[in-house]
Structure 1
Amino acid sequence: MKQLFIMAISIALCWGCAQKASEKNNKARVSANIEGLEDMEIFISYRQKGDRKTDTIQVRDGQFTWEAEMPEPQKVSIMFPNRYSGFFAEKGNIQISGKADALHKLDVTGSELQAEADKYYETLKDLTDRESVIFGQYRDAGDEEKRNLEKRLGDIRSEKRKRGKVYIEKHPESIFSLNLVSDRATMGAYEEIKPLYDLLDNSVLGSDMGKRLTERLEVLKRSAIGETILDFTQNDVEGNPVSYADFRGQYVFIDFWASWCGPCRAENPNVLKAYNEYKDKNFTVLGVSLDDDEARWKKAIEEDSLPWVQVSDLKGFDNVISGYYGIRGIPSTLLVDPEGKIIAKDLRGDELHQKLAEVLP
Structure 2
Amino acid sequence: MNRRLAATLVIIGTLLLGGCGNDYGVDQNGRKVAAERLDKQWLVLNYWAEWCGPCRTEIPELNALAEQLKDKNIGVFGVNFDNVQGEELKSASEKLGIGFTVLAQDPAELFEVPRSEALPVTYIIDDKGKVREQLMGEKTAAGLLAKLEALQARN
Q: TM over 0.5, yes or no?
A: yes
Question: Where do 1:1-361 residues align within 5 Å?
Answer: 233-240=24-31, 242=33, 246-291=37-82, 292=84, 294-313=86-105, 321=108, 325-346=114-135, 348-349=139-140, 350-359=142-151
CA distance in 2, matches of 1:233, 1:355: 25
User: Gapped runs of 5+ residues in structure 2?
Assistant: 1-21
TM-score (structure 2 length as normaliser): 0.63
Structure 1 pair 324/285, CA: closer, same or farther in 2 (3 Å)? closer
Secondary structure of 2:79's aligned partner: strand
- Confirm or deny: 8 A CA contact 2:50 2:96 kept in the other structure: no
- Residue in 2 aligned with 1:221? none
**Measured at CA, do residues 331 and 243 of structure 1 come closer, stay the same or move farther in structure 2, by a change above 3 Å?**
farther
Normalising by structure 1, report the TM-score.
0.30
Q: Which has the higher strand share?
A: 1
Q: Report the alpha carbon displacement of residue 356 of structure 1 after superposing the two structures with TM.
A: 2.6
Task: Return the offset for 1:295.
Answer: 4.0
Give the secondary structure class of the aligned counterpart of 2:59.
helix
The Cα offsets for residues 52-108 of structure 1, whole Å up to 9 and x where unpaired, read as xxxxxxxxxxxxxxxxxxxxxxxxxxxxxxxxxxxxxxxxxxxxxxxxxxxxxxxxx
The answer to whether the 8 A contact 2:46-2:120 is kept is yes
Letter in 2 for 1:356: L
Question: Does the aligned pair in 1 maintain the 2:30–2:86 contact within 8 Å?
Answer: no
Say which structure, 1 or 2, has more relative contact order (CA 8 Å, 6+ apart). Answer: 2
Deviation at 1:257, TM superposition (A): 1.0
**What is the distance in 1 between the residues matched to 2:23 and 2:123?**
14
The one-letter amino acid of 2:134's match is K
Local SS of the residue matching 1:301: helix
Identity fraction in percent? 26
Long gaps (5+) in structure 1: 1-230, 314-318
Equivalenced residue count is 126
Contact 1:234 1:312 in 2 (8 A): yes
C-alpha distance 332-345 of structure 1, shift in aligned 2 (>3 A): same
**Per-residue CA shift, 1:264-302, capped at 9, x if unaligned?**
111111112222222212111111112436445323322
CA RMSD of aligned residues (A): 3.2
Distance 1:346 1:281 in 2: 21
3-state SS of paired residue (1:235)? coil
Say whether the 8 Å CA contact 2:65–2:76 is kept in structure 1.
no
SS at match of 2:50: coil
- Radius of gyration: which is bigger? 1
